Amino acid sequence: MKISDANWHGANAVHLVRDTVAGRTFEVGTKEHFVMTRLDGTRSATQLQAEYAEHLGRRLDDRGLWQLLGQLGKRRLLEGFDNDDPSSAPASHHTSESDRRSDATEPRNTLLRAEIRLAADPEKLSARLAAVVKPSAHSAVAVLLLFAAGATATVASGGLADRVVQAWMSPVAMVVAVLLLWLSTAVHELAHGVVATLQGGRVAAYGIRWRLPVLIPFCRVEDYLFIPGRRGRIAAALAGPAVHLVAAGACAALWLAGLRTGTVADILALVWAGNVMLTVANLVPLAPLDGYVVLSHATGVLRLTTQSQQYAGVHLRAVVRRSDDEARTTRERYPARLRRIYLGYALLAPLLVLALATGAVFIAAAFIPQSAGPWRYAGPIAAVLLVITGMATTQRNRTETS
């Protein structure tokens, strides 16, 4: 059994509990968590009740204690509980969305979408790679390496940016650059798994997803939210963007070393530009990007997008309908810090989407001949709408507890 750190779900502080045998995850409140973490076989019921009153400031009588134990038993989290008893099955509202999906049949591979796992033993592969990179994974060394990569990429940015304009016209450079950028994305996913392993996580799969017409590398870290310590989870999320920053720095270093002519220079410029854009793009705090994962862990909030939207609705009703006592009462249940987080993100997310979509349309239109007239914006707008729709669909389908 694994127990996560405290997180916020709505207005409530919760802990996730993972039954590693049955593969189910539950949310429990602070009271249940307090009792669970002290069921070590060394305390009597009287001692447990005394500690409960001391730490939580409220009395736990015998009836309340047995109710808590009964709830844990029904979720099959206590040894000796009758797992064959049909009444012991956990209620659906205590089971996370990810677990309901994990119990379902895995979708079949089709022409439009498929998933292929590449590593027979992802845990073993991650452990081997983690042992290799462990010396450079120390926080001070990692920060120094990233600073050096960022500084190098910035110093060479003037010459490389000018070269990018010329490099677009080289078909060979474009093909090679696309392949190298795809490879950097694969390493990005591998880095998530390796750093998660270093932080105590477990990698469930490495592979490739087919989403017609794109091949997308992926890494699936099991029990990601159970990695001990917020810093460890943030480090695992930042590992992917860090790969792109290091790749951009490496391209800049080769450029500064004198590789500034011919097709090689074109490739360096394109790969540098692509990795710079991937670094920035992955740090944008919108689901399902790494920046969103970082923000979620930094704030300690589960399902940040959904919970922010729900709180914004409650806040709006409380402000507009001053006679709505229920909305005001619900709003008051949220701690002040949580209100600021939810409301701030509810305002920030659509502004980010609008700004990024507008910028993408104008950048894409700049590469289309002006003779196309207003139609030069039609294609970019359609592409941006498809991307936004895809990201929204991904956000609905992905789980934040995987």
* pLDDT digits 0-9 by tens, 210-221: 887 889 999 999
Q: How far apart are CA 92 and CA 44, in angstroms?
A: 32
The whole domain housing 59 covers 2-103
Band (pLDDT 50/70/90 cuts) for residue 36 is: confident
In this structure, what token pair is assigned to residue 36?
Answer: 């669970």
Query: 1, 16 in Cβ contact below 8 A?
Result: no
Residue 144: pLDDT over 50:
yes
Band (pLDDT 50/70/90 cuts) for residue 393 is: low
Residue 27: pLDDT over 80:
yes
Diameter over CA atoms, the chain: 83
Residue 358 within any structural domain of the chain: yes
Whether residues 130 and 63 fall in one domain: no
Whether residues 134 and 208 fall in one domain: yes
**Cis bond leading into 288, ω under 30°?**
yes
Query: 304, 332 in Cβ contact below 8 A?
Result: no
Residue 285: pLDDT over 50:
yes
Whether residues 130 and 163 fall in one domain: yes
Question: What pLDDT sits at residue 181?
Answer: 96
Whether residues 138 and 58 fall in one domain: no
Question: What pLDDT sits at residue 98?
Answer: 38
Alpha-carbon torsion angle 286, 289, 292, 293, nearest 10: 160
Residue 190: pLDDT over 50:
yes
Q: How far apart are CA 74 and CA 32, in angstroms?
A: 13
The shares of helix, strand and coil residues in the chain, as percent rounded to the nearest 5, are: 65, 10, 25
Question: What pLDDT sits at residue 68?
Answer: 82
Residue 34: pLDDT over 90:
no
Residue 275: pLDDT over 50:
yes
Whether residues 121 and 76 fall in one domain: no
**pTM attached to this predicted model:** 0.82
pLDDT tens-digit readout, 60-113: 888 888 888 887 778 777 776 554 444 443 333 344 433 333 333 456 788 788
| pLDDT higher at 323 or 309 | 309
Please enumerate in sequence order all residues whose Cβ is within 8 A of that of 334, keeping only pairs 6 or more positions apart, or say none: 10, 11, 311, 342
> How many folded domains does the chain comprise?
3
Helix (H, G, I), strand (E, B) or coil at 8: strand
Question: What pLDDT sits at residue 86?
Answer: 40
Band (pLDDT 50/70/90 cuts) for residue 298 is: very high
